[in-house]
Structure 1
Amino acid sequence: MFAHRRWESLGSADLGWLRAKHHFAVSADDNPEHDALGPLIVWNDDEIAVGGGFPMHGHRDVEIITYVRQGVLGHRDTLGSEGTIRAGDVQVMSAGKGIRHAEFNKGDAPLKLYQIWLSPRVAGGEPQWDTKPFPKSDRSGRFVILASGFAEDEGALPIRADARLLGATLKAGESIRQALSSSRCAYLVVASGRIEVDGEPMGALDGVAITEVPAVEITALEDSELVMVDTGQV
C-alpha cells in the first residue's frame, strides 16, 4: 500500500527565519491523515534563514535525526558537544532522560534540512550526540544505511529506535528494488529530482508512506536524491 503525501498537501509553518513543511501532522492545522508511522512521529522539511536558528531548548525521550540537504548547520548542547554539519552529513541525538541544545544556520546561504523524530524503544537513559559525513558518491545506485537502531548495521550512526535511515542517489533512467524489513513499513521522501514508485510518479519533496509490501520498486525520471526511514528489524 502506498499513501502519497504530496508537497502541496503538507502542513506548514512560517516564522520568518524558519519555513517548515510537515510530512507528519504536528499541529491542529496540519493534515489529520498524515499520522505517525510506527516509531516515526515527525519529519519536518525545514529552511532556516541566514542568521536564524533554534535557541537553546530541551528534549526528552526522543531520537532526533538531522539530514542536512543544503548549507551549514551549527550545533551545541548541554553535553558540551559542538558540531558543524554540512550538506551530506547526518546528525543524531538521543535525548534520553533529558538534553538541551541549540541549532542554527552557520553559513551564508539558506540552510535546508530534514528533522526526523522517532520514539525510542526504551525511555530514559543517558543523552548522546554524534555526527558523520556520508558522501553521496557512496550511495550511487543503492540505498546506504546512515543511522540505525540495530547493532548489525556497521558504519551507521547509532540511534535507540527500531528504525533505520537510508539514503540513495539515482541517475535518470536508473531503477532499484529495495527490500523492506519485516515490519513492511517505511516512509520515502524525494529530496531532489523526480521518480516513480511502483509506477506512481513522485515529484521533488513529495513523500510516500509504504505499508504491507515486502519491497519497493523505484525508477528515477531524472537525477534524484532519496531519503527513507524503514521502521523495523530485518
Structure 2
Amino acid sequence: MIELRPFEKLGKSDHGWLKANFHFSFADYRNQDRIHWGALRVWNNDRIAPQSGFPPHPHRDMEIVTYVIKGAITHKDHLGNEGRTEAGQIQVMSAGNGIQHAEYNMEQAETELFQIWILPNKQGVPARWETVQFPADARDGRLVPLASGRGDDGAIPLYADGSLMAGTVKAGQSIRQKLNGKPTYLVPAKGRIEVRGSDGKVVTAKARDGVAIVDQDEIEIVALEDAEIVLVETDRLN
C-alpha cells in the first residue's frame, strides 16, 4: 500500500515559540491508527521561533534523529556534548540509558526541522550524540543513508533496524528505491513529488505531506518540482 497523509490533516500544536505538526500520536495528539510505522515512532515537523527552544529534559531508550530543513539547531546535553546543526544536515541522539538535553534556535530567523524517533533494537545502551557535515551535492539525484543501523558507509550509526535517507531531485527527474516490502515513510521537505509503487499505486505529495508505504518491492519518486526528500525505512515490529 501507499497512503498519502496530507499536512493539513496532521495533528498539531501551537505554543507561540513552537508550531508543531505530528505525523504520529505525540503529546496531546492521539490517533490510534497512527502510533508507529514499523519501528518509526515519531515524525514531527517543528518550527521554532528565533532565540527560543526546548529547555533541558530527559529521554531514555529511543533513537532520535533531527533533520534541519532551514536555519540551525544548537544542542547541549549533560554528557558535555554541544554542537550546531545546519539546514540539510542531521544530528543523532541515542537516548539509551538516559540523557538530559536541550535544543535551541540561537539564530535570528525561524528554524524548521523534522524530529524523528525510531524504536531501538537494544535497550540501555550508553547515551550518545553525534552530528556530521554531510556534503549536500552528494545527494543530488539519489537517496543517501545519513543515519543507519544497517552498517551503511558514512552514515551515523543507529541502534535500530532501519535507516534514514535524504536526497534532492530536480523537476522532471526521478529516483528508484528498493524497499523489499519494508515499512517506509517519506516526507518531501521541499517541493512536490509523485510516488509510484511496484503495484501501480500512485500518489502526489507536496512539501510536509507524509507518504506511508509497505509491501512494495520498489518505489519510483518523480519530482514535479525541485524537491528535497527525507525517507525512513525500518523493519516490521514483531
Residues 115-155 of structure 1, C-alpha deviation per residue, up to 9 Å, x if partnerless? 0001110110210110012232111110000000122x110
Structure 1: gaps of 5 or more residues: none
Answer yes or no: is the 8 Å Cα contact 2:71–2:110 preserved in 1: yes
Q: Which residue of 1 aligns with 2:133?
A: 133
Q: Aligned residue for 2:163? A: 164
Whether the 8 Å contact between 2:94 and 2:159 is mirrored in structure 1 is: yes
Please report the TM-score for the alignment, with normalisation by the length of structure 1.
0.95
Q: Does 1:190 align with 2:188?
A: yes
The one-letter code sitting in structure 1 at the alignment partner of 2:213 is I
The 1-side partners of 2:44 and 2:97 are apart by: 23
In the alignment, the residues of structure 2 paired with residue 187 and residue 50 of structure 1 have an alpha-carbon distance, to the nearest angstrom, of 29
Q: Which moved more, 1:60-69 or 1:34-43?
A: 34-43
Name the CA distance, whole Å, in 2 between partners of 1:230 and 1:176.
15
CA distance in 1, matches of 2:59, 2:188: 28
What is the distance in 2 between the residues matched to 1:195 and 1:145? Answer: 20
Distance in 2, matches of 1:81 and 1:16, equals: 28
- Tell me the residue number matched to 2:13: 13
Please list every run of at least 4 consecutive aligned residues from structure 1 whose deviation after the TM superposition is greater than 4 angstroms. Answer: none
Distance 1:171 1:131 in 2: 27
Q: What percentage of residue pairs aligned between the two structures are identical?
A: 49
Tell me, in whole angstroms, the C-alpha distance in 1 between the residues paired with 2:22 and 2:150: 27
Partners of 1:156 and 1:14 lie apart in 2 by 33
Q: Is the 8 A contact 1:10 1:30 kept in 2?
A: no
Q: Deviations over 1:64-106 (max 9, x none)?
A: 0000111121111011000011111110000111000000002
Query: Does the CA-based 8 Å contact 2:4-2:203 persist in structure 1?
Result: no
C-alpha distance in 1, partners of 2:159/2:29?
A: 30
Partner of 1:138, secondary structure, is: helix
SS of match in other structure, 2:228:
strand
For the 8 Å contact 1:88–1:133, the answer to whether it is kept is no
TM-score by length of 2: 0.94
Judged with a 3 Å threshold, the aligned counterparts in structure 2 of structure 1 residues 63 and 29 are, in CA distance, closer, same or farther, namely closer
**Given residue 179 of structure 1, which amino acid in structure 2 is its aligned partner?**
K
Cα 1:14/1:90, change in 2 over 3 Å: same
Instruction: Number of aligned residue pairs: give it.
Output: 231
Kept in 2, the 8 Å contact 1:119–1:161? The answer is yes
Shift of 1:202: 0.9
Is 1:222 aligned with 2:230?
no
Secondary structure of the residue aligned to 1:47 is: strand
* Secondary structure class of the residue paired with 2:194: strand
Question: Structure 2: 5+ residue runs without aligned partners?
Answer: 197-201
Letter in 2 for 1:79: L
Aligned to 1:117: 117
